[in-house]
Amino acid sequence: MPADRAPTRIQRKNRAAILEAALDVFSSHGFRGSTVDQIAKAAGLSKPNLLYYFPSKEAIFNELMAGLLDTWLDPLRALDPEGEPLEEILAYVQRKLQMSRDFPRESRLYANEIVQGAPRLHDVIAADLNVLVEEKAQLLQGWMDAGRINRAHPKHLLFSIWSLTQHYADFDAQVRTLMGDEDPFDAAPQYLETLYRRMLTPKS
């Protein structure tokens, strides 16, 4: 294992290559379905060499997950109590949709984990995520009470945003097959904007 000192050039390069390869492999085969050998080969290293940089397969996975969750929740954190409610929500939807397009592997990695019961994530969800969701649900409820957007169950509203946006990353294989030549991300922004605008615009 590399010493506790500042990482050398080689260390930085190889650790980055491993995490990049691991994201690729884990996101398309799940934790259990991925082998250390696969990841090593994808990173251009031998298995023992990879294990020189990370103590175990699980350590790679955990580091990947830790890094992921933070960026994953940034768009929600950015929901601004001071902004115009409908525009804030629509912007959140679009930001989330962009993440599905630009970081589909991250989305699938997360999906893989949750679908299988979130065995390695349960604590994080119950703690950090729960607090954030509770806060933002309050915010949405406040906007609704003030008549600035239509009423709807705030948490279900958040779920629907996650669901609709991440669907384009998580079910990419299905969506693309059914869309043929058309790029799903051409019409998706418009579709989701229309959906949430119609749903939330308060009756004049």
Partner DNA sequence: CGTGAGTTTGACCAGTTGGTCAAATCAAGG
Partner DNA sequence: CCTTGATTTGACCAACTGGTCAAACTCACG
Q: Which residues bind DNA (CB under 7 A)?
A: 2-3, 5, 8-11, 14, 34-37, 45-49, 51-52, 55-58
Angle between helices 172-179 and 184-200 (to 10 degrees): 100
Q: What is the closest distance, in whole angstroms, from the C-beta atom of residue 14 to DNA in the complex?
A: 5
Residue 200 to residue 90: CA distance in whole angstroms:
10
Q: Which does 191 bind (CB under 5 to 8 A by kind): a second copy, DNA, none?
A: a second copy
Residue 140 to residue 138: CA distance in whole angstroms:
5
Cβ neighbours, 10 Å, residue 190: 9
Q: What is the closest distance, in whole angstroms, from the C-beta atom of residue 119 to DNA in the complex?
A: 15
Q: Which does 37 bind (CB under 5 to 8 A by kind): a second copy, DNA, none?
A: DNA
CB closer to a second copy out of 95 and 197: 197
| Helix, strand, coil percentages for the chain (3-state, nearest 5) | 75, 0, 25
Q: What is the closest distance, in whole angstroms, from the C-beta atom of residue 66 to a second copy in the complex?
A: 17
Q: What is the closest distance, in whole angstroms, from the C-beta atom of residue 61 to DNA in the complex?
A: 10
